[in-house]
């Protein structure tokens, strides 16, 4: 069974295809600049060089057709025709309160997504466009939806409700929803494996730090609280998003500068965060480089980011009543020692002690690492996320009838013997150039290969 995963954004279509029987990815890529001219696809099949093809894609349907054409191409494709695809999994950012797990898509499901579009106007509409285009191009193949928000449906009302007029919740479903759910699900299960604990007796704080960022409090294996809220704007300072701030500031500036809600929304989502503080940079690598060259506002951005992550770690540790581990994941979480160190420094009183040398060494997307001191009461792990693996396993479970909410569903990656062989191979090659990585590998099987 080969499963195609699609993630449709406003101007892009990311994809991957996975061979479920062989438990291995076959290819992945992205179509960029959909609908804005100059479209192209970047495609990489396992064991082969990346290829780029320029082709205009005015719509998502054109982009998905380009994906199909590329996957079936005689030279760099991985399947002969569409008969080689058994199912398609779609990322849907917002599932509201209606969806607590992944679902098979039909007309009623699409209509429900449309009703939820007002909750995620930047995300759900392109998700829906991609689903409809894919169903039109592949009508005989079952399509499934995997929701970012589903993982967080276990939060208690005390965590997800806002101190706002209650009728707003009743009329408009205004509440905290949270995002990055598939990433948190994967890393929570993997952290329990590394701790050698029952996942439902494990308390964690997971920091998904990338251009978009959020923190998740996990209590007894379930999402208990999270920093993103009604939209992905709330919480941590991000690449271009403001995160937490006094909402009166927006009203004040709107009045002073005669800005409308749409303009303020664009400023808070696209012109704030690291970009707003530095005035130049949104990418963490650029900010770190600028800080290293003595730019004070770049250093300020790093200090602000670290301070906010630290505040959430402290708050969430109190909320869940003590933690077993702090986990870092996503682009910056996996590859940003400076951000991790800034967030953890000074937390010794909580039993959280990060080893500076291990932290500096840990820069890999191919292995789980342990960067905690030997005397740390709380483990500190860096776990490369694998959202697509969650996609694939949910789709496979829906196909064979075994799927259920994560408390009643057996993911392969929640077992101690789970291996990602492609990552293992990449890690082995990486260790040839940087042998010290072996000293921080958290998985006993990786240690055994030394």
The phi, psi pair for 443, rounded to 5°, reads -85, 125
Which member of 19, 106, 148, 283 is catalytic?
148
Retrieve residue 260's tokens.
């409308």
What's the DSSP call for residue 408?
G
Instruction: Name, in order, each residue with C-beta under 8 angstroms of 120's C-beta and a sequence gap of 6 or more.
Output: 93, 94, 231
Give just the sign of the alpha carbon dihedral 74, 77, 82, 83.
positive
Centre a 10 Å sphere on the Cβ of residue 377 and count the other Cβ atoms it contains: 14
Retrieve residue 284's tokens.
């963490």
Residue 343: alpha-carbon gap to chain centroid: 19
Q: Round to whole Å and give the CA distance between 272 and 114.
A: 29
Instruction: Name, in order, each residue with C-beta under 8 angstroms of 182's C-beta and a sequence gap of 6 or more.
Output: 91, 146, 148, 151, 387, 390, 391
8 A C-beta contact, residue 435 and residue 427: no
- Residue 148 a catalytic site member: yes
8 A C-beta contact, residue 53 and residue 61: no
Retrieve residue 428's tokens.
């082995």
Residue with tokens 């809220």: 229
Active site residue ranges: 148
């Amino acid at each position: 069974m080969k499963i195609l995963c699609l993630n449709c954004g406003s101007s892009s279509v990311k994809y991957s295809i996975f061979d479920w029987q062989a438990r291995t990815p076959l290819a992945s890529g992205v179509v960029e600049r959909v609908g804005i001219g100059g479209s192209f696809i970047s495609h990489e099949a396992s064991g082969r060089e990346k290829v780029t093809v320029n082709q205009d894609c005015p719509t998502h349907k054109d982009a998905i057709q380009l994906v199909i054409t590329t996957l079936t191409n005689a030279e760099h494709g991985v399947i002969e025709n569409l008969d080689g695809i058994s199912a398609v999994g779609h990322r849907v950012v917002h599932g509201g309160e209606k969806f607590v797990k992944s679902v098979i898509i039909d007309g009623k499901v699409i209509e429900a997504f449309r009703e939820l579009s007002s909750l995620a106007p930047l995300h759900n509409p392109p998700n829906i466009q991609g689903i409809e285009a894919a169903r039109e191009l592949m009508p005989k193949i079952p399509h499934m939806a995997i929701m970012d928000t589903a993982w967080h449906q276990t939060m208690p009302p005390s965590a997800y409700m806002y101190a706002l007029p209650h009728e707003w919740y009743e009329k408009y479903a205004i509440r905290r929803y949270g995002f990055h759910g598939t990433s948190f699900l994967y890393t929570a299960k993997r952290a329990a494996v590394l701790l050698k604990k029952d996942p439902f007796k494990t308390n964690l704080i997971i920091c998904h730090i990338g251009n978009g960022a959020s923190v998740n409090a996990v209590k007894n294996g379930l999402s208990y609280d999270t920093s993103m809220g009604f939209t992905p704007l709330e919480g941590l300072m991000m690449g271009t998003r403001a995160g937490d701030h006094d909402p009166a500031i927006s009203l004040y500036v709107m009045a002073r500068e005669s800005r409308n809600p749409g303009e303020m929304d664009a400023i808070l989502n696209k012109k704030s965060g690291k970009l707003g503080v530095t005035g130049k940079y949104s990418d963490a690598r650029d900010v770190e480089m600028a800080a290293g060259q003595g730019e004070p506002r770049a250093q300020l951005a790093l200090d602000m980011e670290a301070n906010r992550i630290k505040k959430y770690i402290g708050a969430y540790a109190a909320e869940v009543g003590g933690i077993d581990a702090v986990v870092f994941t996503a682009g910056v979480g996996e590859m940003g020692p400076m951000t991790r160190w800034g967030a953890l420094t000074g937390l010794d009183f909580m039993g959280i002690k990060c080893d500076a040398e291990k932290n500096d060494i840990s820069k890999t997307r191919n292995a789980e690492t342990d960067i905690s001191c030997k005397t740390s009461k709380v483990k500190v792990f860096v776990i490369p996320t694998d959202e697509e693996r969650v996609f694939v396993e949910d789709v496979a479970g829906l196909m064979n009838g075994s799927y259920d909410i994560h408390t009643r569903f057996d993911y392969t990656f929640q077992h101690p013997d789970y291996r990602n062989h492609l990552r293992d191979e990449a890690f082995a090659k990486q260790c040839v150039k940087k042998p010290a990585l072996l000293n921080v590998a958290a998985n006993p099987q990786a240690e055994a290969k030394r």
